[in-house]
Amino acid sequence: MRHPVARSLFTATIAFALTLQLAACNPKSLTKAPLSQIVVTQLGNPKTFNPALANEIPIVYAYTHEGLLGDNPITQELEGSLAEKWDIDPKNAQKITFTLREGLKWSDGHVLNADDVVFSLKDVYFNPEIPSDAQDVFRIGKDKKFPSVTKIDDRRIEIISPEPFAPLLRQMGSAAILPKHILGKSVTDKVGGKPAFLSMWGSGTPMKDIVCSGMYQFDTYVANQRLSFKKNPYYWRKDTQGVRQPYVDRIVWKSVDNQDTSLLQFRSGGPDLNEPIRPEDFALLKGEEKRGKFTIQVGGPRQGFSYLTFNLNQGKRNGRPLVDPIKSKWFNSVEFRHAINHSIDLDRMITNLFRGLGDRVYSSVPSLSPFYLSPEKGLKTYDYNLAKARALLKKAGFKYTENNQLLDSGGNPVKFTIATNAENVLRAKMVAQIKRDLGKIGMEVSISQLNFGVLIDKMENSMDWEAVLMGFGSGGIDPHNGANIWLTDAQSHHFNRKPAPDSSPLEGRVVADWEQEIDDLYVKGSQEMDETKRKQIYNKTQQIAQEKLPFIYLVNARVMAATRDLIQGIQFPQGGDALWNLHELNTID
C-alpha cells in the first residue's frame, strides 16, 4: 500500500529471506565460472509489474525501476539516482531543475532522457484516469494541483510548484521513471473507455517485454514458483574503479506459502539472509549463529506502524449500507474506540508474542523522523485499564448483562469480526490476543484470516469489512508521505474511504470534522517552509489522531535480520533492509 517511489524510500518494510546459490555456467567460458545468485523467498505473487499501479509489499520493481533520487537509510539524506544533480532556484525555492546522468539507457538499449521523466510525471502519475497512491502525495495545496513539469533539454527537467510545497524535492525525486517509447501510446489508447495503460505490464506479461532502468531487469516468472531478475547491461552505476555494478549476477524470488517455510529453509542452510526475523525466532537463531555461519543484525524499532482500525464509513452503495448501521454506530463512537484501546494489553503482547523484542507504536510518523511527536513530548497515550474501558462504554450508552455480555443501548450484543492477512503468522497471534482481551469487557470477536490480495480488495473496492488488523510501511521521514493515508479523498484512507474511481458511487459518506482538520493540517504542513513551524503542525495531526483513534496503534517488532557471512558489504540500517545497498554487495565461496 504504497505509492510508486524509488526503491530506497520503501524497502525498510519489505519482508523476505535470502539464499545464495550457484547459477548455470557460462557456455562461452572455458573455465565455466558460475554466476553469483541471490534467491529471495517471498510470500505470494505480484499482482502487477507496473510501478505506477503496484501498491503492495514487497515492491516488485524495487530492483528494476529507479526515480530521480533515492534516500540513504544510513544517513537519511537524499542521493542522486537517475539524476546526477538537482538545483533549487535561489530566488524561488519552488523551482527545481533536475539534471539526468549522461548516457542513461533503458534495459532494451533505448536512450533514457527527459522525455521519459516528463511522460512519467505528467502523463502517468498526474493522470486522473490512472489511479495511483502517488497522486495523493503529488497534489499540492487546497486546490490539489500538480506541479508543472517541463523539458529544458534531453538531460534537464524543470519542476515548478504552483505554491510553497516543502516536500517538493523529495516527492518529485521519488517516482519510478517509466519508458515513454514503450508505454506512451497506452496512455492515450482506450480499452473499454479506460487507458490501455491500466492493463500494461500485468502479471501475465512476458518478462522480455518489460523495459527497466534499475540495476536488474525481469528474466522469468512462474506464478507460485519463482520470479527471477538478471543484470541490466545498461545500468548506469559503476564503482570507484570503473567496474559496473551490481556485482551479483542474478536475483531470484522463490515463492513460499508462509514465514515458517522461509525460516525452515534458512535453518536448513539454504537462504543466506532471513529478514525480518520474527521475535519468536530470535532465540532459536541466536543459538545457531556460529554453526550456521551467519550474523544476526539488530536495528531499532521497525518504521511504519501496525494498527487495528474500524470501518467508519457511513455510506451506502445501491441503497445498502457498507456497514451494518447498528455496528457503524458503535465504531463511530470515540468512547468505543477509546475503550478498545484501554482494553488491549500491549505490554503482555510485547512480552508474550514479541518475546520482549517489540516496541509500542504511538504515531503514523516514523520514530526516526524529526517530525515524530513522542509521548515524552506530550503525545496522548492509553494505558491498559479495564475499569476505565468499562466506564467509557457505559458513558456511551452500553450496558452489561449478569454474564458480562456487552449490549448497546438497543439491547444488541456487541460482536464484530476482525480481519487480517493469513500470510502473517504474528498478526494472527495478535488478533487472537485482542479477541481474548476484548472478551474481558464483554465483546464477542470473530477472526477472519484472508489472503492479502483479497483483504486489500475488501478494503479498497467492496469496502465490505468491519475491523482490520494490518500495517503500513514507512514512506520516509517526511510526514507528507502519509498524505495517501490521511487526506480524506486519499487512496489509502481505508477507515473512511471514498469509492474507487471505477466502482459504484457511495451515498451518504460522512467526513468527520476531525478527519477534515487532519486533511487541512496536512495541506498546511506541506505549504510551510519553516521546519520548526512544520513540526508544530504535524504535532497537532498526531495529537488529533491519538484523541480520535481512527487507528489504534499496536506494536512493531524490532528490526532484525540474519545474514550469512557469504554476503559481503552489508550495512544494516536502524530501520532495516539488509539489501538497501544491493549494488555494492558481493558474495564469496
Domain membership flag for residue 538: yes
Domain boundary pick from 171, 199, 227:
199
Query: What's the CATH code of the domain at 374?
Result: 3.10.105.10
Q: DSSP letter at 349?
A: I
How many CB atoms are closer than 10 A to CB 31? 7
Residue 307's DSSP bridge partners are 470, 553
Rounded Cα–Cα distance for residues 152 and 271 (Å): 47
Residue 284: inside a domain, yes or no? no
Instruction: Give residues with Cβ within 8 angstroms of 436, minimum separation 6.
Output: none
Residue 168 lies in a domain: yes
Number of neighbouring beta carbons within 10 Å of residue 325? 9
Residue 254 falls inside a structural domain: no
Q: Which residues form the domain of 175?
A: 62-199
Is residue 588 one of the residues assigned to a domain? no
In this structure, what C-alpha cell is assigned to residue 292? Answer: 550456521
Strands 305-310 and 551-553, by their bridges, are antiparallel
Nearest CA to 136 out of 570, 522, 547 is that of 522
Contact predicate 149/157, CB 8 Å: yes
What whole-number distance in Å separates Cα of residue 159 and Cα of residue 147?
A: 6
Do 380 and 529 fall into the same domain?
yes
Same domain (yes/no): 324, 186: no
Q: E strand or H helix at 78, and its extent?
A: strand 78-80
Provide the residue-wise pLDDT of the chain in tens; the chain has 589 residues: 444 444 333 333 333 333 333 333 343 333 445 779 888 788 778 889 999 998 776 688 999 999 999 999 999 899 999 999 999 999 999 999 999 999 999 999 999 999 999 999 999 999 999 988 788 889 999 899 999 999 999 999 999 999 999 999 999 999 999 999 999 999 999 999 999 999 999 999 999 999 999 999 999 999 999 999 999 999 999 999 999 999 999 998 888 888 888 899 999 988 888 888 999 999 999 999 999 999 999 999 888 899 999 999 999 999 999 999 999 999 999 999 999 999 999 999 999 999 999 999 999 999 989 999 999 999 999 999 999 999 999 999 999 999 999 999 999 999 999 999 998 889 999 999 999 999 999 999 999 999 888 999 999 999 999 999 999 987 788 999 899 999 999 989 999 999 877 778 899 999 999 999 999 999 999 999 999 999 999 999 999 999 999 999 999 999 999 998 999 999 999 988 999 999 999 988 7
How far is the CA of 520 from the CAs of 46, 365, 526, in angstroms?
Answer: 35, 17, 10
319 and 191 in one domain? no
Closest to 460 (Cα-Cα) out of 131, 123, 57: 131
| Contact between 46 and 63 (Cβ < 8 Å) | no
Phi, psi of 330 (to 5 degrees): -65, -55
- The Cα angle at residue 368 between residues 363 and 372, in degrees rounded to 5: 40
Residues 558/301, Cβ–Cβ less than 8 Å: yes
Domain closes at, from 199, 219, 242: 199
Does 26 map to a domain? no
527 in helix, strand or coil? helix
Residue 343 resides in a domain: yes
Give the H/E segment covering residue 297. strand 294-301
For 555-566, the DSSP string reads EEEEEEEEEETT
Q: How far apart are CA 326 and CA 320, in angstroms?
A: 13
What distance in Å separates the CA atoms of residue 421 and residue 489, rounded to the nearest whole number?
Answer: 25
Among 184, 199, 214, the domain-final residue is 199
Which CATH number characterizes residue 69's domain? Answer: 3.90.76.10
Query: Taking the CA atoms of the chain, what radius of gyration do you get in angstroms?
Result: 24
> Do 315 and 180 fall into the same domain?
no
Helix (H) or strand (E) holding 484: helix 483-486
Number of domains in the chain: 2
